[in-house]
């Protein structure tokens, strides 16, 4: 069952089954690829929920550790699911760089990722641009210009899309719509959001 960060009842989980630990499977929130397996005790889970960075308990070091605290490759928490026996966690997160210490995207070299539409791929690329800020990137220039400039571009592209719809052909409309979608994804990312957040909202509305 899916649980919200603020509502998870940590004390009700089946900590006694495995000596105070729960296995935590980490999955990429955008590609659905399994990234790694770690273990959490109650303190690590609470730290994960409070900080928004996925945190584990290292059995070999006998200490809590936050993924990325030395490498910078943090896992930003999106959601946590608890299985039906309440003894395993499924953590969905957005990685900052490779998850595996070997420099791979996943600790499981052949782990499949769900087939994603191109908009998801574009959203992931925009998130990468926001983190890395390559100097020759138009997306970088948008982020550097600040959220007001990005919002202005969305407004401009929205007007141009509307005008194309009433006064131009299909090719022009498609061209303007593509520009609008791209700049909207940049705007969402500048606010710390992404395509998955909009999808979740639409799914919630659809379920009403």
- CA separation for the pair 203, 79 (Å, rounded): 16
Q: Is the pLDDT score of 19 beyond 70?
A: yes
Determine contact, residues 27/35, Cβ cutoff 8 Å.
yes
pLDDT tens for each residue of 49-65: 999 999 999 988 899 99
Can you tell me the mean pLDDT for 175-191? 97
d(CA 159, CA 186): 17
pLDDT at 5 over 60: no
**Residue 199 binned pLDDT confidence (cut-offs 50, 70, 90):** confident
Asked if the model's pLDDT at residue 2 lies above 70, the reply is no
Domains and CATH numbers, the chain: 2-95 (3.10.20.810), 118-207 (1.10.287.1080)
Paired tokens of 75: 């896992």
What integer pLDDT is reported at residue 6 of this predicted model?
Answer: 45
Write down the pTM of the prediction: 0.59
Largest CA distance in the chain: 68
């Amino acid at each position: 069952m899916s649980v919200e960060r603020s509502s998870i009842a940590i004390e009700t989980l089946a900590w006694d089954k495995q000596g105070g630990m729960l296995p935590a499977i980490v999955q990429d929130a955008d590609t659905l690829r399994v990234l790694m397996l770690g273990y959490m005790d109650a303190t690590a889970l609470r730290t994960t929920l409070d900080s928004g960075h996925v945190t584990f308990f290292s059995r070999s070091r006998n200490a809590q550790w936050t993924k990325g605290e030395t490498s910078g490759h943090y896992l930003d928490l999106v959601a946590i699911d608890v299985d039906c026996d309440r003894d395993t966690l499924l953590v969905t997160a957005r990685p900052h760089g490779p998850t595996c210490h070997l420099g791979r995207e996943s600790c499981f070299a052949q782990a499949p990722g769900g087939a994603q539409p191109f908009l998801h791929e574009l959203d992931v690329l925009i998130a990468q641009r926001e983190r890395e800020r390559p100097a020759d990137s138009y997306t970088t220039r948008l982020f550097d210009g600040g959220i007001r400039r990005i919002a202005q571009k969305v407004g401009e592209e929205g007007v141009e899309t509307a005008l194309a719809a009433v006064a131009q052909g299909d090719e022009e409309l498609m061209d303007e719509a593509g520009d609008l979608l791209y700049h909207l994804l940049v705007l969402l990312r500048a606010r710390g959001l992404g395509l998955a957040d909009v999808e979740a909202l639409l799914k919630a509305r659809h379920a009403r």
